[in-house]
Structure 1
Amino acid sequence: MALEKLEQWLEKYWLGELSQVEEMQFKSELKANKDSLKGELKQMAEWFESHEETKQNLRLDDSFDDKIMATIQKKSKPVDSWNWMKVAASILVVFALGFFAWWMPEQQEQKQLAKQEEKAYREAKATLELMASMMNHGKKHLSSLEMINTAQEKVKNTFQPDRKEKKEGQDG
């Protein structure tokens, strides 16, 4: 009967269903019947026994608290001295701010210049397109002038040979 009860308690122990009272009874029964147990129950009895021995042997000496408190106080003291990392970080911040103070206006100037160039390009393009359209419009009227020029040339050519003959006759 005691063996069956121990096995039931072992099952409950592994499932985490033992109350504190039952766990204490379980441990004391294991300890009392250690020699007659076998298998897993015997291993559990030995483990609980060694655990109790270890607990009893674990005693801290009186200086332990003093050592721990000294270590805590030593680590918690603030460091007042400036080290080279702080100085380097400060210099880096100053250089970064100086660089951005110099670089930002340059970028803005370049953006403004790019906008002005784009505006000038658009205006020049519009002006050239206007001139091209006006020239093409004027080209239509030139065709009538070309006809007049052609007629003038024909008239000149027809009367010019007579002038040459008169000049030759007068010379001779």
Structure 2
Amino acid sequence: MALKKLEQQLEKYWLGELSQVEESQFKSELQANRNELSGELRQMAEWFEGHEDAKQKLSLGDDFDQNIMKEIHKKSQPKDKWNWMKVAASVLVIMALGFFAWWMPQQQEQRQLAQEEQKAYQEAKATLELMASMMNHGKKHLSSLEMINTAQEKVKNTFQPERKEKKKGQDG
């Protein structure tokens, strides 16, 4: 019957339903009946015994609190009020931001200038192409004028010797 009661208390122990008084009774009954137990109840009894032994062996010295407070106090004080690495990193970041603030607008201006140059080039090219096509178109008409000019020259040359003779005859 005692074994059945211990198994029920073990179940409650694992579920966390034992009060402190019930838990201490459970542990003492396990220790008292340790040799008669088997399985999980025996393992629990041995574990509780080892736990109690460890508790008794481990004890803190009288100066434990003072030592811990010294360590906490040491760690809470900064070792170096001015951490020069942080200052150097901050200066470096500020310089980098300043450089980019100066450099980015210049790059923007250069891109705009290049775009304007490209646009001016395209406009000049289009204008020159238009002028070339107009001149080539006008050149076609000039060839007909050239034929007229050659015809006039031929006519002129044919009639000019008579004029020269007339002039000679009138002068003489």
The TM-score, its normalising length taken from structure 2, stands at 0.69
Shift of 1:116: 2.3
Q: Give the equivalent residue in structure 2 for 1:106.
A: 106
Q: Which amino acid aligns with 2:33?
A: N
Deviation larger for 52-61 or 91-100 = 91-100
After TM superposition, list the pairs within 5 Å mapping 1:133-148 onto structure 2.
133-142=133-142, 144-145=144-145, 147-148=147-148
CA RMSD after TM alignment:
3.2
Q: CA 1:150–1:19 in structure 2 vs 1: closer, same or farther (change >3 Å)?
A: farther
> Does the aligned pair in 1 maintain the 2:31–2:49 contact within 8 Å?
yes
Match of 1:117 in 2: 117
Equivalent residues in 2 for 1:78-97, closer than 5 Å: 78-86=78-86, 88-93=88-93, 95-97=95-97
Moved over 6 A (4+): none
Structure 1-normalised TM-score?
Answer: 0.69
Deviation at 1:146, TM superposition (A): 5.2
Percent identity between matched residues is 73
Question: Structure 1 residue 78: deviation in Å?
Answer: 2.8
Unaligned runs of 5+ in 1: 164-172
Structure 2 unaligned residues grouped into runs of 5+:
162-172
Aligned to 2:69: 69
Report the more deviating stretch, 29-38 or 95-104.
Answer: 95-104
**Paired residue total:** 158
Q: Which amino acid in structure 2 is aligned with residue 113 of structure 1?
A: L
| 1:127, distance to aligned residue in structure 2 (A) | 1.0
Q: Which amino acid aligns with 1:27?
A: K
